[in-house]
Structure formats: C-alpha cells, structure tokens
Amino acid sequence: MLPDDARMRIDAVRESIARAARIARRDPAGVTLVAVSKTHDAEAIRPLIAAGQRVFGENRVQEAAAKWPALRAETPGIELHLVGQLQSNKAEEAVALFDAIHSLDRPSLADALARAMERQGRRPALFVQVNIGEEEQKGGCAIGDLPALLSHARATGLAVAGLMCVPPLDLEPAPWFALLAKLARDHGLAGLSMGMSGDYETAVTLGATHVRVGTALFGQRS
Ligand SMILES: *Cc1c(COP(=O)(O)O)cnc(C)c1O
C-alpha cells in the first residue's frame, strides 16, 4: 500500500466513525480504531503507522510475536490488541505482547491470564468475548455463562474492561450490537468492542468504544 493510499483509507474510516458518533450524539474521541493487521506484513503496516495509526490488532499470538517487536522498536507508542481466540498455554506470551485482549471466554483462561499478569506485573485490558448469536462454531462465552465468568474474573483479581462480540455473518448486525450493549450496561462495564469493516458505523451508533477494522484499512486479505 502506498503511503497516500494508507492515509486516505484511515481518513475515510475516521470520518465514518465521526459521522456515526455525531448521529448518536457521542464524542468520536470515545471510539478507539483498532487496525486489524492480521496476515499483513510489516511493509503493509508501515504506511498506516506513518499516517499516524498507533492501535493495531492481531488474531494470532505467533504471528504478532513475529511481526511486532521490530515494528515497535521503530515507532514508540504502538498499542497492540489481541482479537482472536487464545489458548491458555499461550496466556504468558499474550500478556507479554499485548496491551489488550478481546477474547477472554472461559474461567480456565481467566486463571491462566491472572497467573501470567501476576508473574509479569503487566495488566493488559481484558474484554470478555460473548458468543452473541449462540453459534455452535463460534468462540466466546454463552450469554447464560456471562455472569459466572465475570464473577470468576473479579474473584481472580482481574479487572474486566468490557465485552466483545462478532455477530453472525449475513444477518443484520444491529440487534446483536444492541444486545451486547445491554449486557455490558447490566454488568456495569464501560467497554464495547464491536464492529468490523462491514458494520463499524452501525456499531458506533450503538455504543462501540473499540471498532476492529481490517479490510477497510488494508484491503482484502489474500
Ligand atoms: C479479522 C477480524 C476483524 C477485522 O475484520 P475486517 O472485516 O477485515 O474488518 C475484526 N475482528 C476480529 C475478531 C477479526 O478476526
């Protein structure tokens, strides 16, 4: 991607976020744009960094560990978010690498993260991923298990920043976003990680604090 191209795409996404925020009478500054750089190499990522983007998302620990230490050494102030499923045996590495983890979805992972945070003295922000459409193949905790998981996380000493979801494909996303927002409100959680390239404006009108946008910033993944 050429530098001008990267800047145009970021400006376009930021403008769409601002427009959606205005519709909902929200401050656009309350929405963090997480640029999801999974599958894209350093050459593709650098133009976005040059255009001022500092918050990035990856969905695999291994891939992030291979790409980001070098990019971070070039530019201070990069914030890295994990937006994909996390195995408990990678919790240690994830806590070392990421500033936020959007995929806490079970008590055993909460335990592994709590141990890793204690050992490392690092505390990435945590979002609980909810399987909002109750889909068999999808990650995330069942809606019915959410209260117990949140209690468990709190009992383990973990602060939960908010909730995250990926709504069912090919369905109107707004009802799922509204449901996630209600669940967050019910549990006193301020953070809402929802919205991807196809639906982030809708997510912002319904309260998203973090939108996770890949394709609209980087182009199609191969
Ligand atoms: C890949 C991915 C995104 C970004 O998706 P786009 O449609 O490319 O914007 C967002 N969230 C998660 C969890 C992802 O895996």
Mean of pLDDT values over 112-134 = 98
Residue of 69, 182, 112 lying closest to 58 (CA atoms): 69
Dihedral sign, Cα of residue 189, residue 191, residue 193, residue 198: positive
Specify the CATH number for the domain of residue 175.
3.20.20.10
- 187, part of any domain: yes
Ligand 1 pocket at CB < 6 A: 36, 38, 59, 83-84, 166, 196-198, 212-216
42 CA distance to ligand 1 middle (Å): 18
- 115, part of any domain: yes
**Bigger pLDDT: 137 or 105?**
105
- pLDDT of the residue at 210: 99
- Ligand 1 atom showing the smallest separation from residue 83 Cα: 13
Average per-residue pLDDT for the chain: 97
- Summarised one tens digit per residue, pLDDT across range 40-65 is 999 999 999 999 999 999 999 999 99
- pLDDT of the residue at 1: 66
Q: Are 65 and 97 in contact (CB under 8 A)?
A: yes
- pLDDT of the residue at 141: 98
34 CA distance to ligand 1 middle (Å): 10
- 222, part of any domain: no
Rounded CA separation 146/63 (Å): 29
User: Which residue range(s) make up the domain with 153?
Assistant: 3-216
Rounded to two decimals, the pTM is 0.97
Mean of pLDDT values over 23-52 = 97
Structure tokens at 25: 């009478």
Query: Is residue 3 pLDDT above 90, yes or no?
Result: no
Rounded CA separation 69/57 (Å): 14
- Summarised one tens digit per residue, pLDDT across range 66-116 is 999 999 999 999 999 999 999 999 999 999 999 999 999 999 999 999 999
- 203, part of any domain: yes
Query: Is residue 118 pLDDT above 70, yes or no?
Result: yes
Rounded CA separation 62/148 (Å): 30
Rounded CA separation 186/143 (Å): 12
Angle at 104 between CA 103 and CA 107, to 5 degrees: 155
Q: Looking at the 3D structure of the chain, how many domains does it have?
A: 1
Rounded CA separation 100/129 (Å): 13
- 221, part of any domain: no
